[in-house]
Chains A and B, each alone.
Chain A
């Protein structure tokens, strides 16, 4: 597709369950980012992938959060043993990876933990 695609668009799950969120970036974009958007915290950087380099995981809030990017394209963000404070919108973005290139965002996954 033409834009960043995220799935599912909405996810409701029980506390303690694991969830996987998927991001399909724009074709040809080497850089991929995950952000979390919540009412109290605004938009927070989570993790950044660039090509084959080691990802920047400095924004991940706990070791329950992990992400991988297979083949330099699709990425999966996994949250283990979900907590209610994990409820948020998770946004994925991609860019051409060169300096000053703008990031293009998907519509996000709205995660609700019961």
Chain B
């Protein structure tokens, strides 16, 4: 069994300030973890993935995430927010069968000018 909890349904930041989107997971297997972003009326775009290699994962558009097994966390960060980062972000876990993804409920990121 696996589950994902995104701790904030909505995060609001000012442009140029850091972004932190929090995610905790639970999995009976060694998980693969992903962050996806969804802009309005679009599908989900992969930001980054963790698959048991380096614990600090770098993704596209300056995002990165750190896998912390002891805390069962996989938080997403970015040093400086841009207006174009405003979107919904999903933390996703897969394990066991490796194809069935379990999605968090999403965090809506608002970036203020």
Which residues on A are within 8 Å of B, measured CB to CB?
4, 6, 31, 33, 42-43, 45, 48, 50, 56, 91, 93, 95, 99-100, 102-108, 110
Contact = CB atoms under 8 A, between A and B. Distances in A.
B99 A50 contact: yes
Given A45-B100, A50-B99, A102 B46 contact: yes
Contact of B106 (A42, A91, A95, A99): A42
B34 interface: yes
A33 B111 CA distance: 32
B34 to A, nearest CB: 6
A22 B106 CA distance: 26
B113 interface: no
A45 B102 CA distance: 8
A43 to B, nearest CB: 4
Interface residues of B, number: 21
Contacts of A31: 99
Nearest to A95: B99
7 contacts: A91-B43, A100-B98, A102-B49, A103-B101, A105-B44, A107-B41, A110-B41
Contact of B105 (A4, A42, A45, A108): A42
A56 B5 CA distance: 25
Contacts of A99: 98
Contact of A4 (B32, B43, B103, B106): B43
Given A6-B43, A105-B43, 9 more contacts: A31-B99, A42-B104, A45-B101, A48-B100, A50-B99, A91-B43, A91-B44, A93-B44, A108-B43
